[in-house]
Structure formats: structure tokens, C-alpha cells
Amino acid sequence: MSDTYVLVHGAWHTGELMEPVAQHLRARGHVVHCPTLVGNRPGDDRATTGLAEAAQSLIDFLNEHDLKEVRLMGHSYGGMVISHAADQVGHRIRRLVYWNAFVPLDGESLNDLVPPHYVQLFDGIAAANKGAVMLPYPIWREAFINDADAALAERAFGLLNPHPNKTFTDKARLTTPLAALPMGKSYINCQQDTALPHSLPWHPRLSERLGLFRLVECQGSHELCFTDPARLADAIERAGRD
């Protein structure tokens, strides 16, 4: 059965970096879109782009392509964005899929959900770079892509782009708690993901905010899209099915 998936990337990424995963899903007969959010496109103003603008770019994409019955997946920061899309154009969405992603409550920012040392680090980098944040390589290597060899970690790091810190500090504006929304919800948890410390985990701390949800777990790091796109595609399909 062919389903429609929209894969929403995380911070520092683009839609193009989700294409290896999308190719595996397309090979299984699905229709897959990989948009790049405002704030991560070439020439975007990292100083002024906030969460509302990024979310609106996804909403515009869904509307402009008249997408319906969508399995909408968000990775990491992308969870903040798909939460706004679900709140505003929920009639287009059949299931929300969060892949090691933030699940906000109304009035929470991404920075409210991460350890204080990340907030201090990103604020300092942004202040020195006109509002743009780049992930330091040692953090990328050890916490984000710990299941890759050195060559893949370095190659993948070179594909990342500066991210607007304002999307981390802006508060989510949701009219309805995510747990109360009528569409299906799933959470993918990569078990070796240490981008957040396991003492402050993705699951169950954030996943349980979805209310009734399907849990799909697999081996891998926060960057499984680079290290094993086939495994991630399988997890997304299991999370997205009816």
C-alpha cells in the first residue's frame, strides 16, 4: 500500500540529507517529500528566522502541494515544527511521527527541553555569529553520530549548515495539547542516541506527551539518517503504518 510521507529534518540539516532515507521508502512504494525549512536554506537570515517562520514554511509546503493523509515525521528540532503543523493543518495529517524529536507543550521552547550547558553553548556561539549556531565537531562526533566511523562522521559534518538560534529560543504556540489531537502518533527512539543525556531522555520523558502513541525502537545514534538510512526507513514505515 502506498502512503504519503513528509520527512522534516532537524537543526543544521536540509531536506536533501533525508533523501537516502526517502529512497528506501520510495522503493517500498511510498510517496515521500523532503522539504527544507526556512532558516536552513541558502541565503536565509539566521538572525531573524524564528520557529514561527520555520513552521509556516512547512505548512505552506503541505498546502501548496495539497498533501492529504500525510505521515508527517519530524527529527529532533523538527518535532517543534511538525507540532505547529499538526496544530494548524491537522486535517492534512494522518499520523505524526517523532524521531528522537522534541515534543513541546504550549509556551515551551526547545531550549526549555535541553540541558543548561547546551543553552549556554548555543547562546555564546550565536552571539559571536550573528544569531547563527553551528554544532561543535566534538559534540557532533561523540553525542550525535557515535555509531559512525571517523570518515563518515567528518563527511556528514561537512554537509551541515548554520542554524538560526532564534528557533531554539522561541516559544511553541499550540492551541491544543498534542495528546488531544485526533490523528495517530508514533515515537521512534534510537537506543544509542546520546544527543540528549540518558538521564534527560527523549523517551519516555518527551514521547509520553503524545498521549496514546506507538513506540518503535531500533539500534542507532541521533544521526541514523547518515549511518543506516535503510534501518531508519524501516523504523519510519513501522511507525507510520495504520
Q: Where in the sequence numbering do the catalytic residues fall?
A: 76
Residue type, 227: T
Cβ distance 171 to 188 under 8 Å? no
Closest CA relative to residue 25, chosen from 241, 239, 230: 230
Cell of 196: 540528549
Sign of the Cα torsion 145, 147, 151, 155 reads: negative
Cβ distance 21 to 236 under 8 Å? yes
CA distances to 62, 116, 204 from 195, in Å: 29, 13, 15
Cβ distance 99 to 123 under 8 Å? no
Cβ distance 51 to 81 under 8 Å? yes
